[in-house]
Amino acid sequence: MSVRVINIILGSIMAIAIVLSFAATRDFSKPHYEVMPDMYHSPAYHAFEQNENTDNGRTLRPPAEGSIPRGMLPFEYVLTEEDALRAGAELINPKAPDDMNSLARGATAYAIFCQHCHGASGVGDGMVAKRGFPPPPSLLIEHAIKMKDGQMFHVTTVGQGNMPAHAAQVSRQDRWDIINHIRTLQAVAIREAAKAPPETPQSIEKNSEGAQP
Ligand code: HEC
């Protein structure tokens, strides 16, 4: 047998092996041939494909001006006194003040994000304030009691003076829940103040007597 014949035989065997290997790896869950492709291939453009129909040749278009990501609500107030008051006048707390779920969540979120400065009762004696951070004003005095929910939301969102913004770490829902919790702290403080007997010279005397060993 000549070398040529051997080569032809070996070549044919190789060709058959290649063809058979394709047959062996065939994915039987899909048809092998597209006899009539019809709608197999969608004519839609893919996001990053070139596109001769658009002005810049891109398929993906920039979002229309003013678009916001899904689930995001814009906050149109900046860190100014006027915007704080405007937020107070315009923003309405979506959570009812007696919503038990909101109050429970507010108490938890307050303990995590506010208590270390404002103190558990809201009086401003948190651990951070005790260790040298400029102490915040009490949340239980007239200024904070009269502050509208919307303004409190503004303070919590963008900050105020030495108080840092909390928009990044406290969700919008949690911020409203915290405000409801602060309102209950204030209600407790108001009730306690009404209950406390007025400080008469006698009562002060009696108290100091009681403190004697
Ligand atoms: C790092 C400490 C710190 C943390 C944490 C903090 N605050 Fe404050 N907060 C302050 C300081 C300081 C002020 C006073 C700001 C100023 O100079 O007017 C303040 C002021 C406020 C005021 C305005 C009070 C008023 O009468 O003007 C509100 C409302 C308030 N904080 C709510 C919150 C809430 C709600 C949280 C938690 C989400 C929080 N703060 C977390 C330090 C803090």
Answer yes or no: is the C-beta of 113 below 6 A from any ligand 1 atom.
yes
* Distance (Å) from CA 109 to ligand 1 centroid: 14
Tens digit of pLDDT for each residue in 49-76?
A: 999 999 999 999 989 998 988 888 889 9
Dump the DSSP string for 23-81.
Answer: HHT--TTS-SS-SS-TTSS--PPPTTSB-TTSTTSBSSPPPPTT---TT-------SSH
Query: Which segment of 14-18, 62-66, 100-104, 204-208 scores lowest on mean pLDDT?
Result: 204-208
Answer yes or no: is the C-beta of 45 below 6 A from any ligand 1 atom.
no
* Distance (Å) from CA 122 to ligand 1 centroid: 10
Residue nearest (by alpha carbon) to ligand 1 atom 32:
156
Answer yes or no: is the C-beta of 161 below 6 A from any ligand 1 atom.
yes
Q: Please state the domain extents for the chain.
A: 92-150+167-195
